[in-house]
Structure 1
């Protein structure tokens, strides 16, 4: 299969077979547990710094949501750099996404486990669990699967590929932060972020998840039945969810923009024909609606990174 061809190619380039068993034996689980705790404390510190600094004056929404989004943005940025450098430094990870492990990639999975554990606790402690029940379920599943991989010191390659979605999360959260601070939908900086969000969504969210789904059909015999069932159900849900989310983003940021411009042109034409200047209020109302719709669309996908 494709993965086996990659493995053969890497082995030929290196001139010798990769000893994955010795890589696993060199990793100590207690180091991973310590790093997960440090990750959790780090994000709590980031949250404390944001709380001490306070939200911008233009914020019209919930301050906790603003802080929570910023913490998520920092996680997405750090994890994205970590994952991409992992692929650059250790291309042999693709030789065996199940057995490959070293401290650099192992700690990356630990870092993400600490974040999702932190964020789950943040939601529960701030009494948001009932309103954000889907986030609670998502985080329990993700943190559980990540820690299972950390505990076994296996499937780290799968974890890294899955975490490439954080590249898109940078722009997804950035878009939402702009909306919360009332950045105009028609502004240049919002337009840049929304297009980067859509492009990165396809490259770093849809494609990696499709790759993992494909490998489920080629590597099912190398994992336990329980793990296979859990990851298969999780990926089926994530594939469907992200396809729907991508369509909603396109509809909100692209199709509604075209419809808005068409409606504005029609109102200007009507105004010119009757001699009444009503186009400006109409345009202002339209932009307000677009911002409201975009805010609603960005609320639910916030934690699907």
Structure 2
């Protein structure tokens, strides 16, 4: 019956058409037999069920989760079969540019890393040229993504109200660019550094790549990922600290000033941001599918623990240790 009803629809051209609208469905009967004009039906625009216009987002997600509506798109001469696959999220059917952006980002950071080999570096940094190159590449990423994340919320303030579904193309590209960078940095460390010296960062990158990768591929939770990228504002000073240390400037006024700014931005853009993200996850747990909520919760727990340990190391190295040395000199 479904095939005959679909086949009897007025036909346009025979080219496969990719829908440009997200798929939502209130029930199986509404999804498989949408009461829409043929020109809209061809492009796969299925509207929410009019039966419950005041239906809450929670109920809507539960409906989409339980009613897995599947179908496909086949074109063969005169035959057209329109099918839809809707999971627990609103999945756009158009081609996702995120994969291409990730690949371009990976190649761009690889080129930046290679280009740094041809730029002048302090003599003290030449003893470990790979580390100098790696830190400088990370500094470039932090500057670009930290500023970009702030601009995303400034230019698209509605994203702050809905971190799940609302986002701009620029925000989606930002998260994809970061995935490309983290893949580059992961492979770079794996190839050039001993595992026992880099396992913490490798583990961190694996968690970030997984969480951001899911967000980019589903075109969802982009706003939440952009909030996470606000920590890159602190990473600017964190990487600058390592640059100054490798340049033998650890006892200069510049290093001391950077240490104070680094600690302040660490509290604001790392610890406070991670605490806010954890609170948001807990408050919105009814609106998030169980699998996504579980991945997000585990990722947040790991990130929080790692950042607390790093904060203690910075405090001990830049402040507690220097104050003890000052007392010994007196």
What is the TM-score when the length of structure 1 is the normalising length?
Answer: 0.75
Cα offset for 1:231? 1.4
The equivalent residue for 1:106 is: 172
Cα drift, residue 25 of structure 1 = 7.8
Q: CA deviation at 1:141?
A: 1.5
Pairwise CA distance, 1:229 = 1.3
Partner of 1:189: 254
The separation in 2 between residues aligned to 1:152 and 1:254, in whole angstroms, is 43
Measured in 1, the distance between the counterparts of 2:197 and 2:315 equals: 26
Mark the structure with the bigger radius of gyration: 2
> Matches of 1:237 and 1:179 in 2, distance apart?
28
Aligned pair partner of 2:238 in 172, 176, 179: 172
* 1:137 counterpart (203, 206, 219): 203
Q: How does 1:53-202 map to 2 (within 5 A)?
A: 53=119, 55-59=121-125, 61-126=127-192, 128-185=194-251, 187-202=252-267
Structure 1 segment 253-264 matched on structure 2, within 5 A: 253-264=318-329
Does residue 252 of structure 1 match 2:312?
A: no
Aligned length: 241
Unpaired runs of at least 5, structure 2: 1-89
Q: CA deviation at 1:159?
A: 0.2
Compared CA separation, residues 164 and 42, structure 1 to 2 (3 A) = same
Contact 2:105 2:177 in 1 (8 A): yes
TM-fit CA distance, 1:217: 0.9
Show the counterpart of 1:213. Answer: 278
Distance 1:60 1:44, change over 3 A: closer
Conserved 8 A contact 2:175-2:222: yes
Q: 1:47-84 CA deviation, whole Å, 9 max, x = no partner?
A: 11101225321326421111111110000000011001
CA contact (8 A) 1:27 1:103 kept: no
Report the CA distance shift for 1:25/1:236 in structure 2 as closer, same or farther (over 3 A): closer
Instruction: Find the residue that maps to 1:177 and give its secondary structure.
Output: helix
Moved more, 222-231 or 87-96: 222-231
Separation in 1, partners of 2:101, 2:147: 18
RMSD: 1.8
Tell me which residue corresponds to 1:16.
Answer: none
The DSSP-based 3-state class of the residue aligned with 1:59 is helix
